[in-house]
């Protein structure tokens, strides 16, 4: 059954869809490297495809028959959202928000700015935020509080990547793709200063 209230989204400690552990398969580490700044490949293309499909199956089951709105967080979630939405067996809608807390840095500044707000009202709807990565959790916490004030029927998060060792708030998304170590990562939509988004895998960036 889908979640019943907003408080669960803010305080849940155990994710509904158990995160996978990247295999760090060495065969991916030499296939696509395009910069000497790229380090270890943490999640390869095949792992991404498989896990996105699994997350979509879990969401399809939980939200069957519900009026689901996906909110993609720009720009990092664009590849994940596109693949994830195509795997859903649901009639859902999509909207976008753009928020900033990194700039060109590899560490969050802790100051969150909304660069683009939603086009649609979310009151009374089941809302699923689709995030690329949850790092400290501060940005996501801000976003959840902001959207909760708009009175959706339910509010949950599906995040491709989670850094549990770097969390600064007691918050875990309902759906998590992979748990990764506290390293700055790029690829599959994630960037550093707008570079590396198009990589077909997730890799660490050697600072």
Q: Catalytic positions, please? A: 135
B/e letters for 100-129, b = 16+ CB within 10 Å, e = fewer, are ebbeeeeebeeebeeeeeeeeebeebbbbb
| Structure token digits, residue 37 | 């700044």
d(CA 77, CA 186) in angstroms, rounded, equals 12
d(CA 125, CA 88) in angstroms, rounded, equals 18
| Sign, CA torsion 104/108/111/116 | positive
Is the omega angle on the peptide bond into residue 75 within 30 degrees of 0, that is, cis? yes
Length of the chain: 207
Q: Which one, of 51, 62, 46, lies nearest residue 20 by Cα?
A: 51
Q: Are 10 and 149 in contact (CB under 8 A)?
A: no
């Amino acid at each position: 059954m889908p979640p019943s209230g907003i408080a669960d989204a803010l305080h849940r400690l155990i994710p509904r869809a158990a995160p996978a552990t990247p295999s760090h398969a060495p065969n991916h580490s030499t296939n696509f490297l395009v910069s000497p700044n790229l380090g270890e490949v943490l999640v390869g293309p095949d792992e991404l495809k498989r896990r996105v499909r699994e997350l979509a199956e879990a969401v399809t089951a939980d939200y069957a028959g519900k009026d689901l709105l996906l909110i993609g967080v720009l720009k990092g979630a664009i590849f994940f959202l596109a693949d994830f939405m195509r795997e859903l067996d649901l009639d859902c809608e999509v909207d976008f928000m753009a928020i900033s807390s990194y700039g060109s840095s590899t560490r969050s500044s802790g100051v969150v700015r909304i660069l683009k707000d939603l086009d649609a009202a979310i009151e009374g709807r089941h809302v699923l935020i689709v995030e690329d990565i949850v790092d400290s959790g501060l940005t996501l916490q801000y976003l959840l509080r902001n959207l909760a004030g708009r009175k959706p029927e339910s509010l949950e998060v599906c995040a491709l990547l989670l850094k549990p060792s770097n969390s600064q708030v007691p918050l875990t998304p309902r759906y998590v793709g992979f748990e990764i170590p506290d390293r700055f990562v790029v690829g599959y939509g994630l960037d550093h200063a707008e570079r590396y988004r198009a990589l077909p895998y997730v890799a660490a960036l050697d600072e």
